[in-house]
Structure 1
Amino acid sequence: MGEPVRQSDRPAARAAAAWCVAAAFGTYFCVYAVRKPFTAGAFADDPFWGAGYKSALVVAQVLGYTASKFLGIKVVSEVSPARRAGLILALVGVAELALFLFAVTPAPWNVAWLFVNGLPLGMIFGLVLGVLEGRRQSEALAAGLCASFVVADGAAKSAGAYLLKAGVSEAWMPAAAGLLFAPALLLFVGMLARVPPPAQSDVALRSERAPMTAADRRAFGRRYAAGLLLLGGAYLLVTVLRSVRADFAPEVWAGLGVTGQPGVFTYSEMAVAACVLVLSGAAVLIRDNRRAFTYAMGTAAAGAVLLAAALVGLRAGVLSPLAFMVLHGVGLYLPYIAVHTTVFERLIAMTRDRGTVGYLMTLVDAFGYLGYVAVLLARSAGGGGPDFLAFFVPLSWVIAAATLALLLPAWYYFLSHPAARPAAGEA
């Protein structure tokens, strides 16, 4: 099962892990600067053939992002490690060019450029995650990566809001935010390119992660179809709620009575990240793959319960807006992050099957964002309403209950699957 790390090797191992986390966190944090700052704008002055202009922008980008996820099922699973860094930079370059064209194209025709902006970005997370998986410290490394999109979501909105306060127009603000982070992106992607492959001891503990062919993907899907449908359904639901919360955070905060405070986006998400990532990253301390998988599924189920508790506290009036958003975020992100950091990582290690976390994450993300598009279109067709909180709270209730109902049978399915039985020598 691999040799233990010698005492003399531990400082080097810690330094290598810190390098990996910094490279992955920094890369994806900077990617958010070409994706999310536009959501800090109101975009209330421009019509879109009778529909809300900001909603049209969000839908256009999400459509592009969703299409990118479906393209990424093939691209992410088949790309070789040597090509990842160059591909990340090329994809971000296309997304930033689309923001420049968005700024110079009159409204409402510039909505199309938000679709183009989203089209390359959906593949990047799987490419970054592919660098980190299959290692003894993968949960901790992936938790560091996930910290980027928890914190960066709020930071990108804050950056957009500050640019608007500084006098940058709403049309130019998204492109300006992306350019601000370009030097840092180059630095972090360069660091990512220098991360070494997993050691042989990592492979012995977690299994080899090689590029997958179309036949490999079909075989994996057939073997675990029922469990993947249950788990994918739960992930779809939390992706929908997480995306609504992220893209319409100003509207949610306004419904809670908080306006004119750009920093609140960052403060709340930093508190959420601190709680969730400690709980998710703790799975790295569990050597046995079955036990770690059980721990991850348990924290995911607990998240659905916490989400319901936040809604109860809001209705009872015992939670402040900040406390509600933090507790809501912790409950929402526990299942979301558990899938990213541990569930798929330990599923592959437990079954020793040919697969990669990057592929599985891109697969469930594709359907998750497709669900989000459906929710956005349904709300637009229904006319929406000025009180966004009246939409957000009932949606949260439905997703909390349905997520728990899907996670429990998925948990049982995978642990009882013949391929997941403990191997010889495992506890």
Structure 2
Amino acid sequence: MTDIAATDQRLAGKRMIIAVLAALTAFLAYSSVYAYRKPFTVATFDGLRFWNISYQTLLIISQVVGYMLSKFYGIRFISELRSLGRFRTGMILTGSAWICLLLFALLPAPWGMLPMFINGFLLGFMWGVIFSYLEGRRTTDFMGAVMAVSFIFAGGFTRTVAKWLMVEWNVAENWMPFFTGLVFIIPLIFFLSMLERIPPPDDDDRRERTVRVPMTSADRKKFLKQFGAGLIISSVTYLFLTVMRDIRDNYMANIWNELGYGSDYSVFTRTETNTSLLVLLIMGMLVLIRKNIRAFSFVHVVILAGFLIAGISSALFINGMMNGATWMQLVSLGLYMGYIPFNCIFFERLIATFRVAGNVGFLIYFADAFGYLGSVTVMLAKEFIRLQLNWSEFYSYGVVIGSLMGIAGVLFSYRYFRGRYHHSKA
């Protein structure tokens, strides 16, 4: 018995080492991918306007539209993704996206919108490709949370690199995205290749979290028939998170400029790193909850708390009761407490709770598609309605409204899925 216990302990230790290394690899891989997507937003292209819209906004919208369309196509592409050929797929997607940044540097404005659109479409598949290495394991909550905080850390870190290139090396705004990608090309290749070395889920993983398989069109229709109402309300809730997160992410430089931090290029990494650590600590607690329905319920609580933090801090900022730097830190914490679970834990535990034969990619891309559609709509609305608000004002009011809608959505989702679970056990 002692030998058996010692063997089990060694296996558990080995699994944890694999989980930590896999999580860090996925984190660094997706952080490297971010270098080809977000750094261009550091450039404001002051004075450039076309069709009475700023060039910066036109570029952001172009990329987000491409990203959104990839999510709609990814509902099928990622849900049917097989394990063979993932490294090659990842390299083709990111390599082509980097070539788009070279074309962006060479083409005069406003033609840079076209390569930025293609860049967004190509990179929109990368989350699903990388997360497919991690799902369906008892440690997926931990690994997914580590990978997902790359949204926060990488957004700040890659922008810091981009700003550094502009400030210290006098790299022009149009060339900065390409050279930022050059800095990250070797790390990208290395970490994508390391993902291929992650062992597949073992028997215990499959027993607790179900086998993850590609989903056919019939499988997707069956899932929507079973859980359509819950998936739709969850996607609407996620839509508000995506809109608030995406506007903050794309116009972070503008907001910090308005708050008086325009020349401080370290502010991106400093504030986003703090948020990353706090969110990772919260998400990591889910690994301790083995029963899927309990973890699924706790995820709802975390998302609800995130909406409350973001909404209340924004209301205080609007009323002059909180300074801009504290507001940006708290709103970031609140939004990512909601956004990250949807990208790595919410759907993972949903599949495990209801023993669905499928994969997380389908559900994430279904929600993401409509989330980015909402993001594009809001950005266009601000430009065409001509609201007399700067980005910090527009964003703070938007977060209050989005948080109220999100709270209602989370409460409905919790009641719906708890009801379905108890009905299935009756």
Q: Report TM bin, short chain.
A: over 0.9
1:177 paired with 2:194, answer no
Cα distance in 1, alignment partners of residues 120 and 381 from structure 2: 21
Summarize the alignment of residues 48-67 of structure 1 with structure 2, pairs less than 5 Å apart.
Answer: 48-67=50-69
Which residue identity is paired with 1:209? R
**Does the CA contact (< 8 Å) of 2:155 and 2:249 recur in 1?**
yes
Q: CA deviation at 1:320?
A: 3.3
Cα distance in 1, alignment partners of residues 41 and 342 from structure 2: 26
Cα distance in 2, alignment partners of residues 382 and 309 from structure 1: 26
Q: CA deviation at 1:256?
A: 2.3
Q: 1:386 to 1:346 in 2, by over 3 A?
A: closer
**Does the CA contact (< 8 Å) of 1:280 and 1:338 recur in 2?**
yes
Q: CA deviation at 1:317?
A: 3.9
1:353 paired with 2:356, answer yes
Which residue identity is paired with 1:220? F
1:216 paired with 2:198, answer no
Which of the numbers 242, 245, 249 marks the counterpart of 1:242? 245
Q: 1:420 to 1:237 in 2, by over 3 A?
A: farther
**Does the CA contact (< 8 Å) of 1:281 and 1:341 recur in 2?**
no
Cα distance in 2, alignment partners of residues 106 and 175 from structure 1: 15
**Does the CA contact (< 8 Å) of 2:74 and 2:125 recur in 1?**
yes
Cα distance in 1, alignment partners of residues 116 and 417 from structure 2: 39
Structure 1 residue aligned with 2:297: 294
Which of the numbers 143, 146, 167 marks the counterpart of 2:145? 143
Deviations 1:125-184 (A, max 9, x none): 011111111100000000110111110011121111111112111111001101110000
**Does the CA contact (< 8 Å) of 1:46 and 1:108 recur in 2?**
no
**Does the CA contact (< 8 Å) of 1:415 and 1:421 recur in 2?**
no
- Sequence identity percentage: 35
Deviations 1:101-120 (A, max 9, x none): 11111111122111011111
Which residue identity is paired with 1:104? L
Cα distance in 1, alignment partners of residues 421 and 191 from structure 2: 41
Which residue identity is paired with 1:285? L
Structure 2 residue aligned with 1:411: 414
Cα distance in 2, alignment partners of residues 49 and 356 from structure 1: 43
Which residue identity is paired with 1:341? C
Cα distance in 2, alignment partners of residues 420 and 211 from structure 1: 27
Cα distance in 2, alignment partners of residues 321 and 115 from structure 1: 32
Deviates more, 1:87-96 or 1:338-347: 338-347
Which residue identity is paired with 2:57? S
Which residue identity is paired with 1:56? L
Structure 2 residue aligned with 1:85: 87
Structure 1 residue aligned with 2:199: 196
Structure 2 residue aligned with 1:390: 393
1:16 paired with 2:35, answer no
Structure 2 residue aligned with 1:94: 96
Q: CA deviation at 1:355?
A: 2.1
Cα distance in 2, alignment partners of residues 48 and 332 from structure 1: 32
Deviations 1:301-352 (A, max 9, x none): 1111111221233245443332211111111111111212321111111100
Cα distance in 2, alignment partners of residues 205 and 63 from structure 1: 38
Cα distance in 2, alignment partners of residues 170 and 420 from structure 1: 57
Cα distance in 2, alignment partners of residues 236 and 54 from structure 1: 23
Structure 1 residue aligned with 2:46: 44
Equivalent position SS for 2:53: coil
Summarize the alignment of residues 152-171 of structure 1 with structure 2, pairs less than 5 Å apart.
Answer: 152-165=154-167, 166-171=169-174
Cα distance in 2, alignment partners of residues 315 and 100 from structure 1: 41
Q: CA deviation at 1:86?
A: 1.2
Which residue identity is paired with 1:26? L
Equivalent position SS for 2:413: helix
Cα distance in 2, alignment partners of residues 212 and 317 from structure 1: 50
Q: State TM-score, norm by structure 2.
A: 0.95
Which residue identity is paired with 2:40? F
Which residue identity is paired with 1:94? S
Structure 1 residue aligned with 2:264: 261
Structure 1 residue aligned with 2:347: 344
Equivalent position SS for 1:77: coil
Which residue identity is paired with 2:52? G
**Does the CA contact (< 8 Å) of 2:318 and 2:397 recur in 1?**
no
Cα distance in 1, alignment partners of residues 423 and 205 from structure 2: 19
Q: CA deviation at 1:380?
A: 1.2
Which of the numbers 346, 357, 373 marks the counterpart of 2:376? 373
**Does the CA contact (< 8 Å) of 2:318 and 2:393 recur in 1?**
no
Which residue identity is paired with 2:99? L
Cα distance in 2, alignment partners of residues 192 and 8 from structure 1: 23
Deviations 1:64-120 (A, max 9, x none): 111111111111111111222211111001100110011111111122111011111
Cα distance in 2, alignment partners of residues 34 and 218 from structure 1: 34
Cα distance in 2, alignment partners of residues 133 and 48 from structure 1: 44
